[in-house]
Protein backbone atom coordinates (compact mmCIF):
# COMPACT_ATOMS: atom_id res chain seq x y z
CA UNK A 1 0.00 0.00 0.00
CA UNK A 2 1.62 3.21 -1.20
CA UNK A 3 0.65 6.43 0.56
CA UNK A 4 1.82 10.00 0.45
CA UNK A 5 -0.58 12.06 -1.62
CA UNK A 6 -3.71 13.51 -0.10
CA UNK A 7 -7.05 14.72 -1.42
CA UNK A 8 -8.71 17.85 -0.02
CA UNK A 9 -12.43 17.89 0.61
CA UNK A 10 -14.02 21.26 1.17
CA UNK A 11 -17.24 21.33 3.16
CA UNK A 12 -18.95 24.21 4.96
CA UNK A 13 -15.89 26.39 4.80
CA UNK A 14 -13.50 23.80 6.18
CA UNK A 15 -10.85 21.73 4.41
CA UNK A 16 -10.45 18.05 5.19
CA UNK A 17 -7.25 16.33 4.13
CA UNK A 18 -7.82 12.71 3.18
CA UNK A 19 -5.01 10.22 2.54
CA UNK A 20 -4.83 8.65 -0.93
CA UNK A 21 -4.01 4.94 -1.00
CA UNK A 22 -2.43 3.63 -4.22
CA UNK A 23 -2.63 -0.04 -5.17
CA UNK A 24 0.14 -2.04 -6.84
CA UNK A 25 -1.48 -1.40 -10.24
CA UNK A 26 -1.49 2.36 -9.49
CA UNK A 27 -5.19 2.62 -8.76
CA UNK A 28 -5.70 5.54 -6.37
CA UNK A 29 -8.37 5.53 -3.67
CA UNK A 30 -9.35 8.14 -1.12
CA UNK A 31 -9.17 6.71 2.37
CA UNK A 32 -12.32 7.99 4.09
CA UNK A 33 -12.02 5.98 7.28
CA UNK A 34 -11.60 9.09 9.43
CA UNK A 35 -13.97 11.28 7.38
CA UNK A 36 -17.03 10.91 9.59
CA UNK A 37 -15.10 11.40 12.80
CA UNK A 38 -13.56 14.60 11.40
CA UNK A 39 -16.46 16.12 9.45
CA UNK A 40 -19.67 14.24 10.29
CA UNK A 41 -19.93 13.21 6.63
CA UNK A 42 -20.35 9.71 5.31
CA UNK A 43 -20.19 8.70 1.64
CA UNK A 44 -23.22 7.46 -0.34
CA UNK A 45 -22.59 4.86 -3.03
CA UNK A 46 -25.70 2.81 -3.76
CA UNK A 47 -24.67 -0.65 -5.01
CA UNK A 48 -21.02 0.00 -3.98
CA UNK A 49 -20.16 0.89 -7.58
CA UNK A 50 -17.34 3.20 -6.48
CA UNK A 51 -16.45 1.80 -3.10
CA UNK A 52 -13.29 -0.10 -2.30
CA UNK A 53 -14.54 -2.32 0.51
CA UNK A 54 -11.12 -3.79 1.27
CA UNK A 55 -7.53 -4.11 0.12
CA UNK A 56 -6.95 -7.46 -1.55
CA UNK A 57 -4.01 -9.29 -3.14
CA UNK A 58 -5.96 -12.00 -4.95
CA UNK A 59 -7.35 -10.81 -8.29
CA UNK A 60 -6.84 -7.72 -10.40
CA UNK A 61 -9.41 -6.45 -12.90
CA UNK A 62 -9.16 -3.44 -15.18
CA UNK A 63 -12.66 -3.13 -16.57
CA UNK A 64 -11.74 -0.34 -18.99
CA UNK A 65 -9.15 -2.42 -20.84
CA UNK A 66 -10.57 -5.91 -20.24
CA UNK A 67 -7.78 -7.19 -17.96
CA UNK A 68 -8.26 -10.05 -15.50
CA UNK A 69 -5.35 -11.54 -13.55
CA UNK A 70 -5.25 -14.14 -10.80
CA UNK A 71 -2.38 -13.31 -8.41
CA UNK A 72 -0.74 -11.38 -11.27
CA UNK A 73 -1.12 -14.05 -13.98
CA UNK A 74 -3.24 -13.02 -17.01
CA UNK A 75 -6.39 -15.11 -17.41
CA UNK A 76 -5.50 -15.77 -21.07
CA UNK A 77 -2.22 -17.45 -20.04
CA UNK A 78 -3.84 -19.51 -17.32
CA UNK A 79 -6.65 -20.58 -19.67
CA UNK A 80 -4.11 -21.76 -22.22
CA UNK A 81 -1.44 -23.30 -19.99
CA UNK A 82 -2.91 -24.11 -16.60
CA UNK A 83 -5.91 -26.07 -15.36
CA UNK A 84 -8.61 -25.54 -12.76
CA UNK A 85 -6.88 -27.25 -9.84
CA UNK A 86 -3.53 -25.56 -10.41
CA UNK A 87 -5.22 -22.14 -10.76
CA UNK A 88 -7.31 -22.87 -7.66
CA UNK A 89 -4.09 -23.57 -5.75
CA UNK A 90 -2.65 -20.30 -7.07
CA UNK A 91 -5.67 -18.32 -5.91
CA UNK A 92 -5.90 -19.94 -2.49
CA UNK A 93 -2.22 -20.03 -1.59
CA UNK A 94 -0.86 -17.11 -3.60
CA UNK A 95 1.71 -18.95 -5.76
CA UNK A 96 1.66 -21.61 -8.46
CA UNK A 97 2.38 -24.99 -6.84
CA UNK A 98 5.53 -27.04 -7.30
CA UNK A 99 4.99 -30.52 -8.78
CA UNK A 100 5.09 -32.02 -5.26
CA UNK A 101 2.63 -29.47 -3.86
CA UNK A 102 0.21 -30.05 -6.74
CA UNK A 103 0.44 -33.83 -6.27
CA UNK A 104 -0.23 -33.47 -2.56
CA UNK A 105 -3.18 -31.14 -3.16
CA UNK A 106 -4.67 -33.52 -5.74
CA UNK A 107 -4.26 -36.36 -3.23
CA UNK A 108 -6.11 -34.35 -0.60
CA UNK A 109 -8.91 -33.66 -3.09
CA UNK A 110 -9.19 -37.40 -3.73
CA UNK A 111 -9.03 -38.29 -0.03
CA UNK A 112 -11.96 -35.97 0.78
CA UNK A 113 -14.22 -36.66 -2.16
CA UNK A 114 -16.81 -38.65 -0.19
CA UNK A 115 -19.53 -37.07 1.88
CA UNK A 116 -20.51 -38.73 5.14
CA UNK A 117 -22.86 -41.63 4.44
CA UNK A 118 -25.43 -40.21 6.90
CA UNK A 119 -25.71 -37.13 4.72
CA UNK A 120 -27.19 -39.11 1.84
CA UNK A 121 -30.49 -39.02 3.72
CA UNK A 122 -30.45 -35.22 3.84
CA UNK A 123 -31.11 -35.13 0.11
CA UNK A 124 -34.43 -36.86 0.72
CA UNK A 125 -35.71 -33.80 2.56
CA UNK A 126 -35.82 -31.75 -0.64
CA UNK A 127 -38.72 -31.85 -3.09
CA UNK A 128 -37.81 -33.23 -6.55
CA UNK A 129 -38.08 -29.81 -8.16
CA UNK A 130 -35.88 -28.03 -5.59
CA UNK A 131 -33.34 -25.82 -7.30
CA UNK A 132 -29.86 -27.40 -7.06
CA UNK A 133 -28.45 -24.08 -5.78
CA UNK A 134 -30.81 -24.30 -2.78
CA UNK A 135 -29.66 -27.88 -2.17
CA UNK A 136 -26.02 -26.90 -2.63
CA UNK A 137 -26.18 -24.09 -0.11
CA UNK A 138 -28.07 -26.12 2.48
CA UNK A 139 -25.82 -29.15 2.04
CA UNK A 140 -22.61 -27.13 2.32
CA UNK A 141 -23.81 -25.97 5.72
CA UNK A 142 -24.87 -29.50 6.61
CA UNK A 143 -21.50 -30.97 5.60
CA UNK A 144 -19.84 -28.21 7.63
CA UNK A 145 -21.58 -29.63 10.71
CA UNK A 146 -19.65 -32.87 10.19
CA UNK A 147 -16.29 -31.06 10.27
CA UNK A 148 -15.40 -31.02 13.91
CA UNK A 149 -12.03 -29.26 13.54
CA UNK A 150 -12.14 -25.50 13.48
CA UNK A 151 -10.26 -24.22 10.44
CA UNK A 152 -7.16 -22.27 11.42
CA UNK A 153 -6.66 -19.82 8.55
CA UNK A 154 -3.09 -19.02 9.55
CA UNK A 155 -2.06 -22.66 10.03
CA UNK A 156 -0.97 -23.79 6.56
CA UNK A 157 -1.55 -27.50 7.13
CA UNK A 158 -5.02 -27.29 8.66
CA UNK A 159 -6.08 -24.68 6.12
CA UNK A 160 -4.86 -26.74 3.14
CA UNK A 161 -6.89 -29.71 4.31
CA UNK A 162 -9.96 -27.52 4.89
CA UNK A 163 -9.67 -25.95 1.43
CA UNK A 164 -9.28 -29.34 -0.29
CA UNK A 165 -12.11 -30.80 1.73
CA UNK A 166 -14.52 -28.04 0.76
CA UNK A 167 -13.55 -28.00 -2.91
CA UNK A 168 -13.79 -31.75 -3.17
CA UNK A 169 -17.06 -32.25 -1.33
CA UNK A 170 -18.84 -29.41 -3.12
CA UNK A 171 -18.39 -31.29 -6.37
CA UNK A 172 -19.80 -34.49 -4.85
CA UNK A 173 -22.79 -32.61 -3.37
CA UNK A 174 -23.46 -30.89 -6.71
CA UNK A 175 -23.53 -34.16 -8.65
CA UNK A 176 -25.66 -35.82 -5.94
CA UNK A 177 -28.18 -32.95 -6.05
CA UNK A 178 -28.50 -33.47 -9.80
CA UNK A 179 -29.06 -37.22 -9.41
CA UNK A 180 -31.64 -36.49 -6.72
CA UNK A 181 -33.46 -34.06 -9.03
CA UNK A 182 -33.84 -36.70 -11.73
CA UNK A 183 -34.68 -39.51 -9.31
CA UNK A 184 -31.54 -41.55 -10.03
CA UNK A 185 -29.12 -43.17 -7.55
CA UNK A 186 -26.17 -41.10 -6.45
CA UNK A 187 -22.88 -42.19 -7.96
CA UNK A 188 -19.79 -42.55 -5.77
CA UNK A 189 -16.64 -40.70 -6.85
CA UNK A 190 -13.84 -42.57 -8.60
CA UNK A 191 -10.45 -42.39 -6.98
CA UNK A 192 -8.58 -42.80 -10.27
CA UNK A 193 -10.04 -39.68 -11.88
CA UNK A 194 -8.89 -36.10 -11.58
CA UNK A 195 -11.22 -33.41 -10.28
CA UNK A 196 -13.24 -32.40 -13.36
CA UNK A 197 -13.43 -35.86 -14.96
CA UNK A 198 -14.51 -37.25 -11.58
CA UNK A 199 -17.28 -34.69 -11.39
CA UNK A 200 -18.53 -35.55 -14.88
CA UNK A 201 -18.42 -39.24 -13.89
CA UNK A 202 -20.63 -38.56 -10.83
CA UNK A 203 -23.01 -36.54 -13.01
CA UNK A 204 -23.39 -38.94 -15.92
CA UNK A 205 -22.37 -42.48 -14.91
CA UNK A 206 -25.10 -44.97 -14.08
CA UNK A 207 -24.78 -47.87 -11.64
CA UNK A 208 -24.57 -50.24 -14.61
CA UNK A 209 -22.61 -48.04 -17.02
CA UNK A 210 -19.56 -45.83 -16.58
CA UNK A 211 -19.49 -42.52 -18.40
CA UNK A 212 -16.18 -42.09 -20.21
CA UNK A 213 -15.86 -38.39 -21.00
CA UNK A 214 -14.17 -37.17 -24.16
CA UNK A 215 -10.90 -35.39 -23.14
CA UNK A 216 -12.13 -32.35 -25.09
CA UNK A 217 -15.26 -32.26 -22.92
CA UNK A 218 -13.20 -32.53 -19.72
CA UNK A 219 -10.93 -29.75 -20.94
CA UNK A 220 -13.90 -27.49 -21.79
CA UNK A 221 -15.55 -28.08 -18.40
CA UNK A 222 -12.22 -27.50 -16.65
CA UNK A 223 -11.80 -24.24 -18.58
CA UNK A 224 -15.25 -23.04 -17.50
CA UNK A 225 -14.36 -23.75 -13.87
CA UNK A 226 -11.00 -21.98 -14.23
CA UNK A 227 -12.55 -18.88 -15.82
CA UNK A 228 -15.04 -18.61 -12.97
CA UNK A 229 -12.54 -19.23 -10.16
CA UNK A 230 -12.38 -15.64 -8.92
CA UNK A 231 -13.55 -12.18 -9.86
CA UNK A 232 -12.57 -9.96 -6.94
CA UNK A 233 -15.36 -8.12 -5.08
CA UNK A 234 -18.44 -9.38 -6.96
CA UNK A 235 -21.74 -9.85 -5.16
CA UNK A 236 -21.20 -13.43 -3.95
CA UNK A 237 -17.55 -12.93 -2.98
CA UNK A 238 -18.46 -9.77 -1.10
CA UNK A 239 -21.12 -11.86 0.64
CA UNK A 240 -18.53 -14.45 1.64
CA UNK A 241 -16.28 -11.67 2.93
CA UNK A 242 -19.15 -10.00 4.75
CA UNK A 243 -20.20 -13.23 6.48
CA UNK A 244 -16.57 -14.14 7.11
CA UNK A 245 -15.96 -10.73 8.70
CA UNK A 246 -18.32 -11.79 11.50
CA UNK A 247 -15.84 -14.67 12.03
CA UNK A 248 -18.38 -17.16 10.68
CA UNK A 249 -16.76 -20.43 9.66
CA UNK A 250 -15.65 -21.21 6.11
CA UNK A 251 -18.61 -23.50 5.36
CA UNK A 252 -21.21 -21.00 6.57
CA UNK A 253 -19.60 -18.14 4.63
CA UNK A 254 -19.43 -20.18 1.41
CA UNK A 255 -23.04 -21.38 1.82
CA UNK A 256 -24.07 -17.70 1.95
CA UNK A 257 -21.99 -17.03 -1.17
CA UNK A 258 -23.90 -19.76 -3.02
CA UNK A 259 -27.20 -18.03 -2.19
CA UNK A 260 -25.93 -14.69 -3.53
CA UNK A 261 -24.61 -16.34 -6.68
CA UNK A 262 -28.00 -17.90 -7.34
CA UNK A 263 -29.54 -14.51 -8.23
CA UNK A 264 -30.39 -14.00 -11.94
CA UNK A 265 -28.39 -10.77 -12.12
CA UNK A 266 -25.31 -12.64 -10.96
CA UNK A 267 -24.50 -16.35 -11.45
CA UNK A 268 -28.08 -17.16 -12.40
CA UNK A 269 -27.54 -15.28 -15.66
CA UNK A 270 -26.06 -18.29 -17.49
CA UNK A 271 -29.32 -20.18 -16.98
CA UNK A 272 -31.29 -17.09 -18.04
CA UNK A 273 -29.22 -16.81 -21.23
CA UNK A 274 -30.16 -20.31 -22.39
CA UNK A 275 -33.79 -19.73 -21.42
CA UNK A 276 -33.77 -16.48 -23.41
CA UNK A 277 -32.17 -18.15 -26.46
CA UNK A 278 -34.57 -21.12 -26.27
CA UNK A 279 -37.53 -18.76 -26.06
CA UNK A 280 -36.38 -16.81 -29.12
CA UNK A 281 -35.84 -20.09 -30.97
CA UNK A 282 -39.19 -21.62 -29.99
CA UNK A 283 -41.20 -18.48 -30.73
CA UNK A 284 -39.50 -17.81 -34.05
CA UNK A 285 -39.07 -14.21 -32.93
CA UNK A 286 -36.45 -12.31 -34.90
CA UNK A 287 -33.23 -11.28 -33.22
CA UNK A 288 -33.92 -7.67 -34.21
CA UNK A 289 -37.33 -7.59 -32.49
CA UNK A 290 -35.84 -9.14 -29.35
CA UNK A 291 -33.17 -6.45 -29.27
CA UNK A 292 -35.88 -3.76 -29.56
CA UNK A 293 -37.63 -5.34 -26.56
CA UNK A 294 -34.39 -5.55 -24.55
CA UNK A 295 -33.89 -1.80 -25.07
CA UNK A 296 -37.41 -0.95 -23.91
CA UNK A 297 -37.35 -0.10 -20.19
CA UNK A 298 -41.04 -0.99 -19.84
CA UNK A 299 -40.66 -4.50 -21.28
CA UNK A 300 -38.91 -5.90 -18.21
CA UNK A 301 -36.58 -7.72 -20.61
CA UNK A 302 -32.81 -7.50 -20.68
CA UNK A 303 -30.35 -9.03 -23.07
CA UNK A 304 -29.09 -11.63 -20.61
CA UNK A 305 -25.37 -12.34 -20.76
CA UNK A 306 -24.71 -8.73 -21.74
CA UNK A 307 -23.33 -5.99 -19.57
CA UNK A 308 -21.10 -6.01 -16.55
CA UNK A 309 -20.63 -3.70 -13.62
CA UNK A 310 -16.86 -3.58 -14.09
CA UNK A 311 -16.06 -4.50 -17.71
CA UNK A 312 -16.86 -1.54 -19.92
CA UNK A 313 -14.92 -2.67 -23.00
CA UNK A 314 -15.01 -6.45 -23.13
CA UNK A 315 -15.06 -9.35 -20.70
CA UNK A 316 -11.81 -11.29 -21.36
CA UNK A 317 -13.47 -14.49 -20.16
CA UNK A 318 -16.19 -14.12 -22.80
CA UNK A 319 -13.56 -14.07 -25.58
CA UNK A 320 -11.93 -17.27 -24.31
CA UNK A 321 -15.29 -19.00 -23.82
CA UNK A 322 -16.54 -18.04 -27.28
CA UNK A 323 -13.51 -19.69 -28.90
CA UNK A 324 -13.87 -22.79 -26.70
CA UNK A 325 -17.56 -22.96 -27.56
CA UNK A 326 -16.86 -23.13 -31.28
CA UNK A 327 -14.13 -25.77 -30.72
CA UNK A 328 -16.21 -28.04 -28.47
CA UNK A 329 -19.29 -28.00 -30.65
CA UNK A 330 -17.14 -28.77 -33.70
CA UNK A 331 -15.36 -31.63 -31.91
CA UNK A 332 -18.63 -33.12 -30.71
CA UNK A 333 -20.24 -32.60 -34.13
CA UNK A 334 -23.09 -30.60 -32.59
CA UNK A 335 -24.98 -27.97 -34.51
CA UNK A 336 -26.82 -25.91 -31.94
CA UNK A 337 -29.35 -23.40 -33.31
CA UNK A 338 -29.02 -21.48 -30.02
CA UNK A 339 -25.36 -20.75 -30.85
CA UNK A 340 -26.44 -19.22 -34.15
CA UNK A 341 -29.02 -17.06 -32.35
CA UNK A 342 -26.42 -16.03 -29.74
CA UNK A 343 -23.96 -14.96 -32.45
CA UNK A 344 -26.64 -12.96 -34.26
CA UNK A 345 -27.72 -11.29 -31.01
CA UNK A 346 -24.12 -10.38 -30.27
CA UNK A 347 -23.52 -8.94 -33.76
CA UNK A 348 -26.76 -6.96 -33.69
CA UNK A 349 -26.26 -5.61 -30.17
CA UNK A 350 -22.65 -4.62 -30.78
CA UNK A 351 -23.75 -2.45 -33.73
CA UNK A 352 -26.63 -0.86 -31.82
CA UNK A 353 -26.08 2.64 -30.34
CA UNK A 354 -28.04 1.66 -27.18
CA UNK A 355 -25.50 -1.03 -26.28
CA UNK A 356 -22.51 0.95 -27.58
CA UNK A 357 -23.36 4.05 -25.54
CA UNK A 358 -23.91 2.06 -22.37
CA UNK A 359 -20.77 -0.02 -22.98
CA UNK A 360 -22.66 -3.29 -22.85
CA UNK A 361 -20.69 -6.31 -24.12
CA UNK A 362 -21.13 -10.07 -23.85
CA UNK A 363 -20.07 -11.34 -20.44
CA UNK A 364 -18.78 -14.78 -19.46
CA UNK A 365 -22.32 -16.15 -19.23
CA UNK A 366 -23.24 -15.43 -22.81
CA UNK A 367 -21.49 -18.49 -24.31
CA UNK A 368 -20.71 -20.72 -21.30
CA UNK A 369 -24.27 -22.10 -21.23
CA UNK A 370 -24.00 -23.28 -24.81
CA UNK A 371 -20.89 -25.33 -23.99
CA UNK A 372 -22.55 -26.80 -20.90
CA UNK A 373 -25.63 -27.68 -22.93
CA UNK A 374 -23.41 -29.47 -25.45
CA UNK A 375 -21.76 -31.42 -22.62
CA UNK A 376 -25.20 -32.48 -21.35
CA UNK A 377 -25.33 -30.36 -18.18
CA UNK A 378 -28.98 -29.53 -17.51
CA UNK A 379 -29.88 -25.85 -17.51
CA UNK A 380 -30.80 -25.68 -13.82
CA UNK A 381 -27.28 -26.93 -12.97
CA UNK A 382 -25.49 -24.13 -14.83
CA UNK A 383 -25.25 -21.87 -11.82
CA UNK A 384 -24.02 -24.82 -9.76
CA UNK A 385 -21.12 -25.18 -12.22
CA UNK A 386 -20.35 -21.52 -11.65
CA UNK A 387 -20.41 -22.13 -7.89
CA UNK A 388 -18.01 -25.10 -8.14
CA UNK A 389 -15.68 -22.90 -10.15
CA UNK A 390 -15.94 -19.98 -7.70
CA UNK A 391 -15.14 -22.04 -4.57
CA UNK A 392 -11.34 -21.40 -4.70
CA UNK A 393 -11.95 -17.65 -4.96
CA UNK A 394 -14.34 -17.71 -2.02
CA UNK A 395 -11.86 -19.73 0.04
CA UNK A 396 -9.05 -17.30 -0.80
CA UNK A 397 -11.18 -14.28 0.14
CA UNK A 398 -12.45 -15.86 3.35
CA UNK A 399 -8.86 -16.53 4.38
CA UNK A 400 -7.76 -13.03 3.43
CA UNK A 401 -10.45 -11.60 5.72
CA UNK A 402 -9.44 -13.90 8.58
CA UNK A 403 -5.73 -13.18 8.28
CA UNK A 404 -5.92 -9.40 7.81
CA UNK A 405 -4.50 -7.83 10.99
CA UNK A 406 -7.10 -5.83 12.95
CA UNK A 407 -9.87 -6.73 10.45
CA UNK A 408 -13.21 -5.29 11.55
CA UNK A 409 -16.67 -6.72 11.08
CA UNK A 410 -18.20 -5.34 7.85
CA UNK A 411 -20.87 -2.84 8.69
CA UNK A 412 -21.86 -0.23 6.08
CA UNK A 413 -23.74 2.93 7.00
CA UNK A 414 -26.80 4.42 5.35
CA UNK A 415 -28.47 7.75 4.64
CA UNK A 416 -31.78 7.46 6.41
CA UNK A 417 -34.72 8.81 4.37
CA UNK A 418 -37.66 7.56 6.46
CA UNK A 419 -40.10 9.20 8.86
CA UNK A 420 -38.61 11.49 11.49
CA UNK A 421 -39.41 10.90 15.16
CA UNK A 422 -43.13 10.68 15.97
CA UNK A 423 -45.19 9.41 18.91
CA UNK A 424 -47.09 6.18 19.12
CA UNK A 425 -50.84 6.60 18.37
CA UNK A 426 -53.29 4.19 20.09
CA UNK A 427 -55.12 2.09 17.49
CA UNK A 428 -58.58 3.62 18.10
CA UNK A 429 -57.18 7.11 17.37
CA UNK A 430 -55.51 6.26 14.05
CA UNK A 431 -57.24 8.09 11.24
CA UNK A 432 -54.94 7.51 8.28
CA UNK A 433 -55.71 4.90 5.64
CA UNK A 434 -53.97 1.74 6.76
CA UNK A 435 -52.32 -0.44 4.09
CA UNK A 436 -54.84 -2.94 2.74
CA UNK A 437 -54.48 -6.25 4.51
CA UNK A 438 -55.79 -9.63 3.42
CA UNK A 439 -58.71 -9.44 5.87
CA UNK A 440 -59.73 -5.92 4.81
CA UNK A 441 -59.51 -6.93 1.12
CA UNK A 442 -61.78 -9.93 1.77
CA UNK A 443 -64.20 -7.87 3.84
CA UNK A 444 -64.59 -5.23 1.13
CA UNK A 445 -65.57 -7.74 -1.56
N1 LIG B 1 -29.83 -5.45 -21.53
C2 LIG B 1 -30.41 -4.23 -21.76
N3 LIG B 1 -30.06 -3.11 -21.08
C4 LIG B 1 -29.09 -3.22 -20.15
C5 LIG B 1 -28.45 -4.45 -19.87
C6 LIG B 1 -28.86 -5.58 -20.60
N7 LIG B 1 -28.29 -6.77 -20.38
N8 LIG B 1 -27.54 -4.27 -18.89
C9 LIG B 1 -27.60 -2.98 -18.56
N10 LIG B 1 -28.52 -2.33 -19.32
C11 LIG B 1 -28.81 -0.89 -19.30
C12 LIG B 1 -29.63 -0.48 -18.09
O13 LIG B 1 -31.02 -0.57 -18.35
C14 LIG B 1 -29.14 0.92 -17.85
O15 LIG B 1 -29.73 1.75 -18.81
P16 LIG B 1 -30.06 3.31 -18.43
O17 LIG B 1 -28.73 3.94 -18.17
O18 LIG B 1 -30.75 3.84 -19.65
O19 LIG B 1 -30.95 3.27 -17.22
C20 LIG B 1 -27.65 0.85 -18.21
O21 LIG B 1 -27.56 -0.23 -19.18
C22 LIG B 1 -26.75 0.54 -17.01
O23 LIG B 1 -27.24 -0.65 -16.40
P24 LIG B 1 -27.16 -0.97 -14.85
O25 LIG B 1 -28.19 -1.98 -14.51
O26 LIG B 1 -27.15 0.32 -14.09
O27 LIG B 1 -25.72 -1.60 -14.76
P28 LIG B 1 -25.16 -2.38 -13.53
O29 LIG B 1 -23.69 -2.19 -13.55
O30 LIG B 1 -25.90 -2.02 -12.29
O31 LIG B 1 -25.55 -3.91 -13.85
C32 LIG B 1 -25.55 -6.06 -14.80
C33 LIG B 1 -24.70 -4.82 -14.44
C34 LIG B 1 -26.37 -6.51 -13.59
C35 LIG B 1 -24.60 -7.18 -15.18
C36 LIG B 1 -26.48 -5.70 -15.98
O37 LIG B 1 -25.72 -5.32 -17.10
C38 LIG B 1 -27.43 -6.84 -16.33
O39 LIG B 1 -28.50 -6.95 -15.76
N40 LIG B 1 -27.03 -7.73 -17.29
C41 LIG B 1 -27.83 -8.88 -17.62
C42 LIG B 1 -27.63 -9.96 -16.58
C43 LIG B 1 -26.27 -10.64 -16.70
O44 LIG B 1 -25.84 -11.01 -17.78
N45 LIG B 1 -25.63 -10.83 -15.55
C46 LIG B 1 -24.35 -11.50 -15.48
C47 LIG B 1 -23.31 -10.57 -14.98
S48 LIG B 1 -21.72 -11.31 -15.08
C49 LIG B 1 -21.65 -12.32 -13.75
O50 LIG B 1 -22.28 -12.19 -12.74
C51 LIG B 1 -20.75 -13.44 -13.95
Using CA positions, which residue lies closest to atom 31 of ligand 1? 309
- Least confident among 36-50, 90-104, 113-127: 113-127
Mean pLDDT in residue range 296-325: 91
pLDDT attached to residue 445: 41
Q: How confident is the model at residue 124 (pLDDT cuts 50, 70, 90)?
A: confident
In angstroms, what is the span from residue 322 Cα to ligand 1's centroid? 20
Q: How confident is the model at residue 444 (pLDDT cuts 50, 70, 90)?
A: very low
Using CA positions, which residue lies closest to atom 4 of ligand 1? 302
pLDDT attached to residue 148: 66
Using CA positions, which residue lies closest to atom 45 of ligand 1? 265
Contacts of 46 (CB under 8 A, 6+ apart): none
Surface-to-core class of residue 283, CB atoms within 10 Å of its CB (0-12 exposed, 13-18 middle, 19+ buried): exposed
- Least confident among 7-16, 124-133, 147-156: 147-156
pLDDT tens digits, residue range 40-87? 999 999 999 999 999 999 999 999 999 999 999 999 999 999 999 999
Using CA positions, which residue lies closest to atom 21 of ligand 1? 358
pLDDT tens digits, residue range 173-190? 999 999 988 889 999 999
Mean pLDDT in residue range 210-234: 94
Q: Ligand 1: residues whose CB is within 6 Å? A: 265-267, 269, 294, 302-309, 358, 360, 363-365
Catalytic-labelled residue, pool 112, 308, 315, 397: 308
Nearest-CA neighbor of 69 among 51, 52, 56? 56
Reported pTM: 0.90
Surface-to-core class of residue 391, CB atoms within 10 Å of its CB (0-12 exposed, 13-18 middle, 19+ buried): buried
In angstroms, what is the span from residue 365 Cα to ligand 1's centroid? 13
3-state secondary structure the chain: CECCCEEEEEECCEEEEEEEEECCCCCEEECCCCHHHHHCCCCCCHHHCCCCCCCCCCEEEECCCCEEEECCEEHHHHHHHCCHHHHHHHHHHCCCCCHHHHHHHHHHHHHCCCCCHHHHHHHHHCCCCCCHHHHHHHHHHHHHHCCCCCCCCCCHHHHHHHHHHHHHHHHHHHHHHHHHHCCCCCCCCCCCCCHHHHHHHHHHCECCECCCCCHHHHHHHHHHHHHCCCCCCCHHHHHHHHHHHCCCCHHHHHHHHHHHHHCCCCCCHHHHHHHHHHHHHHHCCCHHHHHHHHHCHHHCCCCCCECCCCCCCCCHHHHHHHHHHHHHHHHCCCCCHHHHHHHHHHHHHHHCHHHHHCCCCECCHHHHHHHHHHHCCCHHHHHHHHHHHHHHHHHHHHHHHHHCCCCCCCCCCCCCCCCCCCCCCCHHHCCCCCCCCHHHHHHHC
Let me know if 111 is a catalytic residue: no
Mean pLDDT in residue range 256-269: 92
pLDDT attached to residue 326: 85
Let me know if 308 is a catalytic residue: yes
Output the CA angle 241-243-248, nearest 5 degrees. Answer: 115
Tell me the pLDDT of the chain averaged across its residues. Answer: 92
In angstroms, what is the span from residue 59 Cα to ligand 1's centroid? 22
Catalytic-labelled residue, pool 222, 230, 315, 365: 365
Task: State the closest ligand 1 atom to the C-alpha of 295, by its place in the atom list counted from 1.
Answer: 2
pLDDT attached to residue 4: 82
pLDDT tens digits, residue range 130-184? 889 999 999 999 998 887 677 788 888 889 999 999 999 999 999 999 998 888 9
In angstroms, what is the span from residue 314 Cα to ligand 1's centroid? 14
pLDDT attached to residue 443: 43
Alpha carbon distance 263, 336 (integer Å): 26
Q: How confident is the model at residue 437 (pLDDT cuts 50, 70, 90)?
A: low
Q: How confident is the model at residue 426 (pLDDT cuts 50, 70, 90)?
A: very high
pLDDT attached to residue 418: 97
In angstroms, what is the span from residue 306 Cα to ligand 1's centroid? 7
pLDDT attached to residue 180: 87
Amino acid sequence: MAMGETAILQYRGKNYELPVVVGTENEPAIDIRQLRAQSGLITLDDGYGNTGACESAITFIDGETGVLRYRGYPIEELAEKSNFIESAYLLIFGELPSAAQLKEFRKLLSDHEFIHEDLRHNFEGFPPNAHPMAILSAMINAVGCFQSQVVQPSDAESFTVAAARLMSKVRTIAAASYKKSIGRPMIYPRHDLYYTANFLHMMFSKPYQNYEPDPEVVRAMDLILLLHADHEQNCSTSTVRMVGSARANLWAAVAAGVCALWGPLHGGANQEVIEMLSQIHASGQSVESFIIKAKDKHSNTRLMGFGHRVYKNFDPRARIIKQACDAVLKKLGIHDPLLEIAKKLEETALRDPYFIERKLYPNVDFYSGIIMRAIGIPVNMFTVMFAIGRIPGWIAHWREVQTTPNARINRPRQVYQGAVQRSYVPIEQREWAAPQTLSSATASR
